Chain A
Amino acid sequence: MKIVVTVKQVPDPNSNLTLEADNTLSREKEVVLDPGDECGVEEALQLKEAHGGEVVLVSMGPERAKDAIRKGLSMGADRGILITDPQLAGADALLTARALAAAIKAENADLVICSTESYDGSTGMVPPMLAEMLGLPQLTIAKQVEVDGSNVKVHRQTADGYQVVEASTPALITVTAGIAEPRYASLKGIMAARSKEIKQVGLGELGIERGEPGETIEGLTDAEARKAGAIIEDDGTAVDRIIQVLAQAKVV
């Protein structure tokens, strides 16, 4: 079974974000493999261990996004593809999906695994776009994945539980961060990753032109901030203060 996992390098969720002059998020800070994607890689590795096959990581970003791919390779993925091109700077979801689709199509994968949404953008629009462009069914928000021959079954999270969703492969799955605890890369894994292939491709090789962006930022304003109220140290009276606030709000 061949599994493609989309991976993204994102600003470390534990560091503060900054803005570039053109109002795009700065990627110059500490960057890491998206924690959600780590779970996607882990799930793919577990499926490979159970069913055999190959795990290919596909990413889009500047050259240093290779570090994110390398992280996944050190966990055990087999090889990587990095789509990198100056024209992709500030790409919107549509262009991102087009570029990823072009690179993934050539792989003829049985499964494409994406995380449900990235940690930095959190909009989750690329996976359904990608599924459409690749002509695949989409099994989204999976917290559990089972593969049996050419049948794939997921537990899809819903507001009050989950749905069991089935499809035949090839298919695209989006997984939640809770699906699998990512393994630590072993020293052996880290050494092995150094010699694994990361193929670099540009938009020209993928046969894609940038086109007009689907949306343009016209301006930024400060969000309406809530005013800070009182901040108190709990010296034993905190409960009384909270009760007062609850009473004012008429809930006690």
Chain B
Amino acid sequence: MAKVWVYAEMSGGKLQSTALELMAKARELGEVEAIALGAGAKAAAETLGKHGAKVVHVNEDKAFDDFIAEPAADALAALHEKEKPDLLIFAFTPDSRDVAGRVAARLGKGLISNASDVVAKDGGFVAKVPYFGGAKVASMRANSKPAIVLVRPKSFEASEKGGSAEVKDLAVTIGEGSKRAKIVERIAEASEKVKLEDAKVVISGGRGMGGPDNFPLLEALANALGGAVGASRAVVDAGWVPYSMQVGQTGKSVRPGVYIAVGISGAMQHTVGMKASKVIIAINKDAEAPIMKMADLGVVGDALKIVPALTAAVKAKKG
């Protein structure tokens, strides 16, 4: 049976939801061991066991929380030396990307990133990766052992299956040489009322909003609907709104009940992060914009007029 490892990302003492998503898939692919590093790792092991991990390797050294990537890469490399897994799965998130890149380089192995699925095939692993503007899906065979794959958040649904994991201490000494990029302060900027990833309704704005001054129109609609506001990479890059609002390949993946894309053309960069939404409504001046071809309802018109009118109508309807 294949030996499958899941890098269970921890942040602020908490197991990240992506870890449980990965567990749901990993247990289909072989015998799963998870690696949890930093504060809260031991508590996380219990949850990981319920989600199918047979073994959880833990280490609560403070260095994992305080320094970027290098301590975690040291731990994974040390464990790899002893255990030689067949597959190593990471979430395609900023923190896990930092670790995965270093580990792959240290082991001298290739990796497949931005995958939406992993399957076992002919004794190896094949990952599905959005390709060519998202119009195609490439089946990529990993040629290395371990195969290293980074999977987009929300690709799988987490589910408990019961069970408990054997907890093993991951023996590794983090040398001073790996304590270099130090996180000295953490600042929370946005006090999001509803978290973008968890919102039932997401309203996202793009270039077609005209400028940052018009984003409060989207917030008003989001408030009326009990939803959250997202944005395209173009407007985040332009500095209109913070990165925390970016939906897409390099931002957040969302799959709300309703996604309203306002003034967003629908480049692959964006649609990869939202096309799993149940219902998509697009408001755009351009009837030919790619977003129109994937929307359940496409409205060709002036967003700056439609959005406030819609907000008023929602408020009226809700009384």
Interface contact B309-A221, CB-CB below 8 Å = no
Interface contact B109-A94, CB-CB below 8 Å = yes
Report B274-311 residues with CB < 8 Å from chain A CB. 275, 278-281, 283, 287, 292-302, 305-306, 309-310
Chain B contact residue count (CB 8 A cutoff)? 96
Choose the segment among A82-90, A102-110, A119-127 that binds chain B (4+ C-beta atoms closer than 8 Å).
Answer: A119-127
B108 at the A/B interface (Cβ < 8 Å)? yes
A117 at the A/B interface (Cβ < 8 Å)? yes
Choose the segment among B48-56, B157-165, B180-188 that binds chain A (4+ C-beta atoms closer than 8 Å).
Answer: B180-188
Interface contact B181-A94, CB-CB below 8 Å = no
* Cα-based distance from A129 to B73 in the complex (angstroms): 11
Report A153-174 residues with CB < 8 Å from chain B CB. 156-168, 171
A129 nearest CB neighbor, chain B only: B105
Interface contact A231-B300, CB-CB below 8 Å = yes
A204 at the A/B interface (Cβ < 8 Å)? no
* Cα-based distance from A129 to B69 in the complex (angstroms): 11
* Cα-based distance from A171 to B67 in the complex (angstroms): 14
Interface contact A242-B110, CB-CB below 8 Å = no
A50 at the A/B interface (Cβ < 8 Å)? no
* Cα-based distance from A16 to B267 in the complex (angstroms): 10
Interface contact A243-B138, CB-CB below 8 Å = no
Quick one: CB contact mask for B133-165 with A, threshold 8 Å, 1 for yes? 111111111111000001000000000000000
Other-chain residue from B139, B190, B225, B300 in contact with A232 (beta carbon distance below 8 A): B300
Interface contact A124-B250, CB-CB below 8 Å = yes
Range for the number of chain A residues in contact with chain B: 35 or more
B149 nearest CB neighbor, chain A only: A215
Interface contact B239-A178, CB-CB below 8 Å = yes
What residues of chain A lie closer than 8 Å to B192, measured between beta carbons? Answer: 160
* Cα-based distance from A207 to B138 in the complex (angstroms): 32
Other-chain residue from A19, A93, A132, A226 in contact with B132 (beta carbon distance below 8 A): A19
What residues of chain A lie closer than 8 Å to B281, measured between beta carbons? Answer: 242, 245
Interface contact A178-B301, CB-CB below 8 Å = no
**Smallest beta-carbon distance A93→chain B, Å:** 7
**Smallest beta-carbon distance B128→chain A, Å:** 9
Interface contact B317-A222, CB-CB below 8 Å = no
Interface contact B111-A221, CB-CB below 8 Å = no
Given A157-B243, A228-B298, A125 contacting B100 (CB threshold 8 A):
yes
Which of A129, A214, A217 has the most chain B CB within a 10 Å cutoff?
A214
Given A92-B110, A161-B188, A241 contacting B73 (CB threshold 8 A):
no
Other-chain residue from B111, B141, B293 in contact with A94 (beta carbon distance below 8 A): B111
A48 at the A/B interface (Cβ < 8 Å)? no
B130 at the A/B interface (Cβ < 8 Å)? yes
* Cα-based distance from A23 to B131 in the complex (angstroms): 10
Interface contact A17-B292, CB-CB below 8 Å = no
Interface contact A216-B130, CB-CB below 8 Å = no
**Smallest beta-carbon distance B317→chain A, Å:** 5
* Cα-based distance from A61 to B106 in the complex (angstroms): 24
Which of B144, B186, B302 has the most chain A CB within a 10 Å cutoff?
B186
A6 at the A/B interface (Cβ < 8 Å)? no
Interface contact A161-B236, CB-CB below 8 Å = no
Interface contact A218-B139, CB-CB below 8 Å = yes
**Smallest beta-carbon distance A229→chain B, Å:** 4
What residues of chain B lie closer than 8 Å to A246, measured between beta carbons? Answer: 225, 258, 314
Interface contact A161-B244, CB-CB below 8 Å = yes
What residues of chain A lie closer than 8 Å to B247, measured between beta carbons? Answer: none
B30 at the A/B interface (Cβ < 8 Å)? no
Given A125-B111, A164-B187, A223-B134, A138 contacting B140 (CB threshold 8 A):
no
Other-chain residue from B68, B131, B283 in contact with A137 (beta carbon distance below 8 A): B68
Interface contact A229-B243, CB-CB below 8 Å = no
Other-chain residue from B101, B139, B187 in contact with A162 (beta carbon distance below 8 A): B187
* Cα-based distance from A137 to B98 in the complex (angstroms): 11
* Cα-based distance from A164 to B183 in the complex (angstroms): 6
* Cα-based distance from A238 to B200 in the complex (angstroms): 22
Interface contact B301-A93, CB-CB below 8 Å = no
What residues of chain B lie closer than 8 Å to A126, measured between beta carbons? Answer: 101
* Cα-based distance from A81 to B54 in the complex (angstroms): 49
A-B contact pairs, 13 of them (CB 8 A): A124-B250, A129-B101, A133-B105, A157-B244, A165-B184, A215-B143, A219-B138, A225-B294, A228-B298, A229-B295, A230-B296, A232-B297, A239-B310
Mark B residues whose CB is within 8 Å of A.
68-70, 73, 94, 97-102, 104-106, 108-114, 126-127, 130-144, 150, 180-190, 192, 200-201, 225-227, 236-239, 242-244, 249-250, 252, 257-258, 267, 269, 275, 278-281, 283, 287, 292-302, 305-306, 309-310, 313-314, 317-318
Mark A residues whose CB is within 8 Å of B.
13, 16-17, 19, 23, 25, 35, 92-94, 97, 116-117, 122-133, 137-141, 143, 156-168, 171, 176-178, 212-223, 225-226, 228-234, 238-243, 245-252
Given contacts A137-B70, A160-B190, 6 further A-B contacts (CB under 8 A): A132-B105, A166-B182, A177-B236, A217-B138, A226-B280, A230-B298
